[in-house]
Amino acid sequence: MRQRLPPPGAAAHFFSGTSSQVGNVVESVERVEHPRVERIPSARQFTEFCTAWGKRLPGPRVMGWTVTAVFFVLYTVVSVLRNDRMLNAGYDLGIFEQAIRAYAHGQAPIVELKGPGFNLLGDHFHPILALIAPVYRLFPGGVTLLVVQAALMALACYPLTRWAHRAVGPVTGLVVGCALGASWGIAAGVAKDFHEICFAVPLLAFSVTALGQRRWRAAAAWALPLLLVKEDLGLTLAAVGAYIAWQGLRERRADPTARRGTTWLGIAVVILGAAGTAVEILVLLPAMNPRGGFDYWQQMSDGPSSPGGLVGLASLGLHLFWPPMKWLLLFMLAAPTAFFAVRSPLTLLCVPTLAWRLLAGNEHYWQPNFHYNAILMPLVFAGLIDVLHRRKDLLPARRRRKVLAFCAAFTAVTAAVYPLHDLVLPWTWRTPDHVRTAQRLLDRIPDGETVASSNRLAPMLTGRTTVSLVCFGTGPDPAAPTGLPADPPRWVVSDRNDPTVKTPCRVARTKHMLDLYRAHGYLTVAEEDGITLLRKPTPAAAPGAAQRTP
């Protein structure tokens, strides 16, 4: 019987079907033996996930204001809770409240906590503080200063978040904004007392953003008010001008027909910044200082004193990077950006502030918990954005994700150490018994009185009384008294548990002054939980009477 042959192509069809069936069988076996293989996302799938997630994020402006609002709330809660636990002090919250309270009533910023009749503009040059006066007049009290500081510090997140969002992408904008807001420098600055540099933080953030976007006039305009924040910030203004001039020269080299306006603008800003600092330190501060000089020359001159020439230069270089605490400071500044910010010239704007701090003999200037680190944070993160945006050859997409992950991880670790972690601690939300006792005793002092107080109790009184330090008296130096003040206060209050036992009032000096007040007839009103409250005797009382009053 004749056998029928299969049609042409049937064999190929058969083997093709067979191979596909075998392949299906093998694939099913692999799924059975290795069920986790296809669950592991590939790099492309991860990228697609990030892209899809990024599309769900809001635009640059909405994201910028959202991040700003979130950190404003966090800063406010942390700083107010710390204030309620008596963790602020006369140095510095009480000092600034006395100055702003005077501004609010149209008076010169006389601060009794610094000394009798001391004009605070003779200590540091910060007339910009007068801008807080209208708010303080409506809401008097130290908490007002803390809320204003929280708002200004949080405002720095807006320009950098928006710039990172537009220049690199929404995920980068979110990571950079949150890393800046939770950065250790700003967290340490916002949580303790009040300082004038809270104005410099947003000004520098807007200025450095304009520099990164090559908006030279806007950068100069945002940096100019630094002259009114603090005397040394004129050097940072000069650094901004030097950056603008340098970019102008680069434009001229690339295109000889380009205008020279950018270069001349930068040179003008350099001159204005350097001259402003010189005038403030050499003329304005000595003119308003009761001692007729700049009080901080001594701290700057406590640095290396050595002969000139190469030996002096070597000594200066050794002092600049020694002791090792200075290396820790530099590490902490570079680490939040995975050390990539140092590749941007924008980071060089940190040099003026770092230079005087590292050269000074005051060890507090070298420490990472110093509030002056807050003004460096916007500059560091601006350097990171600049590198991510302009150096794509250095940071391709995959490496950029690793950098952002490191930034987020470092921020999370430092947030667990610095004051933002207070929000998750149970005792943060409780008022200690010692604070309750202090408040109850201070309530016995009527409004409008004059009070000599210890450091930690002072900001609880500066909003309603005239406060000086309990360790101040008469003599060539009020801080080393030889007798009672020329105009003795009506009340004296001292807390033996005050932890600020070195500055501004030493324990022995405070005890000496309390003994003097008692020897001059001051009456003991109360002594409880280490807090002593004395009252000046009335004219009818006997000078030597020191009995306890009910």
SS3 110: strand
pLDDT at residue 5, as a whole number: 47
- The C-alpha atoms of residue 182 and residue 418 are separated, in whole angstroms, by 9
What percentage of the chain exceeds 90 in pLDDT? Answer: 67
What's the token pair of residue 479? 């801080």
pLDDT at residue 477, as a whole number: 78
Beta bridge partners of 533: 493, 526
What percentage of the chain exceeds 70 in pLDDT? Answer: 85
CB 493 within 8 A of CB 516: no
pLDDT at residue 81, as a whole number: 95
More confident residue, 11 or 161: 161
Residue 461 predicted with pLDDT over 70? yes
Condensed to tens digits (0 to 9), the pLDDT of residues 386-429 reads 999 998 878 888 889 999 999 999 999 999 888 888 898 898 89
pLDDT at residue 550, as a whole number: 39
Beta bridge partners of 450: 466
C-alpha dist (Å) from residue 72 to 136, 141, 180, 185: 18, 19, 13, 15
Lowest-pLDDT choice from 27-36, 298-307, 339-348: 27-36
End-to-end CA distance of the chain: 134
Condensed to tens digits (0 to 9), the pLDDT of residues 475-527 reads 877 878 889 998 999 999 999 999 887 778 889 899 999 999 999 999 999 99
pLDDT at residue 323, as a whole number: 84
pLDDT at residue 367, as a whole number: 85
- The C-alpha atoms of residue 88 and residue 98 are separated, in whole angstroms, by 14
Condensed to tens digits (0 to 9), the pLDDT of residues 167-198 reads 999 999 999 999 999 999 999 999 889 999 99
Residue 47 predicted with pLDDT over 60? no
Residue 483 DSSP code = B
pLDDT at residue 433, as a whole number: 96
Beta bridge partners of 62: none
Can you give the pTM of this predicted structure? 0.86
279: Cβ contacts below 8 Å, ≥ 6 apart: none
Phi-psi map region of 518: left, alpha, beta (phi>0 left; psi -120 to 50 alpha)? alpha
Lowest-pLDDT choice from 174-188, 203-217, 317-331: 317-331
